[in-house]
Amino acid sequence: MPHDDHDHPHALLPPEPALRVKALETILTRKGLIDPAALDEIIDTYQNKIGPQNGARVVARAWSDPGFKAALLQDATTAVADLGYYGRQGEHMVVVENTPEQHNMVVCTLCSCYPWPLLGIPPGWYKSDAYRARAVREPRKVLAEFGVTLPAETAVRVWDSTAEIRYLVLPMRPERTDGLSEDALAALVSRDSMIGTGLPKVPS
């Protein structure tokens, strides 16, 4: 497609870090350490295929099938692998269940460890210093900023993900959802509800 722009007689210069990334990529490709086509495939996977919709399927199944829920809480990695969700950064996943007594919330205080096969790549706020520092120190305040207010009698437990263990929150099934299909239930499960900074949607 012709694309003439007289303000730019030459190709638009990318930002400094992009040039450094291209330099690294060139070196590693020439050494045969990486394959540019494989990089495209990885990007496509995380941009288009893997995301919170996977975790939502897992939650909807757990809400619908007590046997699956028990297996999930016992050994999440195996239970979700049976649904086809496994791979990078999902080697050891642990699911923590919200109850009226305890609300769970996940953070990675050191960097940004996250259950990729179930939630994809973490959102910016999960990676921010503010969230990483404050989730542990003042979880109720952070929850309030996300619009989540819990009853005073509900305790908040914060789980710190690491490169070895990645947590997913199993939210409580909303009321008035009896008889809903797994598809309909999955549509209620937001990404934030599986990190613990949100609650599932309530059916309208």
Partner 1 sequence: MSSSAPEPVFEQPWHAQVFAMTVALNEADRFGWAEWASRFADTLKRRGLNRDLDGGDDYFHAWLETLEALLADQGEAAPRDVQSLRDAWEEAYLTTPHGRPVQLRQQ
Does residue 160 touch partner 1 according to CB under 8 A?
Answer: no
3-class SS string, 153-175: CCEEEEEECCCCCEEEEECCCCC
Site string for partner 1, 111-140 (x = CB under 8 A): xxx------xx-xxxxxxxxx---------
Q: In 50-128, which ranges are continuous DSSP H helix?
A: 52-64, 66-74, 76-82, 116-119, 124-127
Instruction: Provide the token pair at 99.
Output: 């109850």
| Burial degree of 147 (CB within 10 A; 0-12, 13-18, 19+) | exposed
Check binding of 10 to partner 1 (CB under 8 A).
Answer: yes
111 is catalytic: yes
Token pair for 48: 């288009």
Q: How many residues bind partner 1 (CB under 8 A)?
A: 65
From the CB of 98, what's the least distance to partner 1, in Å? 17
- Closest distance between partner 1 and the C-beta of residue 93, in Å? 14
Which region among 66-74, 75-83, 105-113, 167-175 touches partner 1 (by CB under 8 A)? Answer: 105-113
Q: Is 18 in the site for partner 1 (CB under 8 A)?
A: yes
Q: What whole-number distance in Å separates Cα of residue 193 and Cα of residue 173?
A: 11
For 199, the token pair is: 């609650």
Binding positions for partner 1, rule: CB under 8 A = 2-5, 8-15, 17-28, 31, 33-35, 38-40, 42-43, 46-47, 51, 88-89, 110-113, 120-121, 123-131, 142, 145-147, 162-164, 190-192, 197-198
